[in-house]
Amino acid sequence: WAEMNPELQGSKAKDYAQNLLDNAVYSAQGIRAILNNAAGKISPEEMNRTLDELASQGYRYYNDVEKYGKRNPFSQQYNLSIGKSNERNTFNASFSYRHNSLEDRYSNNESFGLNMQNTTGITSWLSMDLGTYLNYGDGATQSYSVTSPGYTYMPYNTLLNADGSPYTNTEADRYSKSQQGTLRDNGLYHLDITPLEEMKMNLQKNKDFSNRTFARLNFKLTDWLKYAASFQYEVGEY
């Protein structure tokens, strides 16, 4: 890239490189190392050492995404049913629980369900059914993605520093000195991005509840003629 750029050759290369650095035109560490060398901030040996180190990282960013930013989805479901009956009464109930851990580390949901039904024989020609179904669920959806971190990344980038601390992409990596000055003059927050911390923030929480309850009278008028009258009530909050 540097050899193909004529502006990085000759007497004006130093000023040209410094201008690119001041205006944060390139955020890639490799290109910035080349520009820092051209601007006289680091020696050719330091530049080559940096480039060799970056090249040795391979596809570290994608490995870090897999290791620290994602996980294998996992689902659990449990069901429990009970029933009891005699000559005039039949009762059934079932309970279910489901938990899902999604691919994004902070995305998950769970739900609880309870279903109960009772049938009572009042006379030989009249019976009554009563039933209710309850469902409650809550969960969280991670809104930040390490594959779209808010800055340009290269395969050799990382999510975790060598000392084990989370990597931070600073505002100086993305904004020119003039833009940084404007941010400070207006008292605005620093625009540093720490992906492993951003993942935990701005989670979209959701809760839902629903209930369906019914009552039904069954009339057996003859062996071939039956009639049912029912009432049902439903409510839901999502």
Q: Identify whether residues 47 and 83 lie together within a single domain.
A: no
Q: Identify whether residues 185 and 238 lie together within a single domain.
A: yes
Name the band, by pLDDT with cuts 50, 70 and 90, for residue 217. very high
Q: Identify whether residues 45 and 129 lie together within a single domain.
A: no
In a domain, 160, yes or no: yes
Chain centre to alpha carbon of residue 99: 16
What pLDDT is attached to residue 56? 92
What pLDDT is attached to residue 2? 78
Q: Identify whether residues 107 and 178 lie together within a single domain.
A: yes
Chain centre to alpha carbon of residue 69: 9
Task: For residue 100, count CB atoms less than 10 angstroms from its CB and return exposed for 0-12, middle for 13-18, buried for 19 or more.
Answer: middle
Mean pLDDT on 13-29: 90
Note the pLDDT tens digit of each residue in 156-210: 999 999 899 999 999 999 999 999 999 999 998 889 999 999 999 989 999 999 9
In a domain, 65, yes or no: no
What pLDDT is attached to residue 190? 87
* pTM for the full predicted model: 0.77
Q: Identify whether residues 41 and 131 lie together within a single domain.
A: no
CB contact at 8 A, 38 and 8:
yes
Which of 31, 56, 81 delimits the end of a domain?
56
Q: Identify whether residues 113 and 4 lie together within a single domain.
A: no
Measured CA distances, 51 to 15, 33, 81, 156 (Å): 22, 7, 64, 10
Split into its structural domains, the chain has a count of 2
In a domain, 66, yes or no: no
In a domain, 37, yes or no: yes
Note the pLDDT tens digit of each residue in 218-232: 999 888 999 999 999
Q: Identify whether residues 48 and 75 lie together within a single domain.
A: no
Measured CA distances, 177 to 12, 15, 18, 180 (Å): 21, 15, 11, 5
Q: Is the pLDDT of residue 102 over 90?
A: yes
Q: Is the pLDDT of residue 238 over 90?
A: no
Q: Is the pLDDT of residue 154 over 90?
A: yes
Name the band, by pLDDT with cuts 50, 70 and 90, for residue 143. very high
Q: Identify whether residues 49 and 85 lie together within a single domain.
A: no
What 3-state DSSP class applies to 106?
coil
- DSSP secondary structure, 153-169, as one string: --TT--SB-TTSPBP-B
- DSSP secondary structure, 9-48, as one string: SSTTHHHHHHHHHHTT----HHHHHHHHHHTTSS-HHHHH
Host domain of residue 150 = 71-238
The letter for the amino acid at 16 is: Y
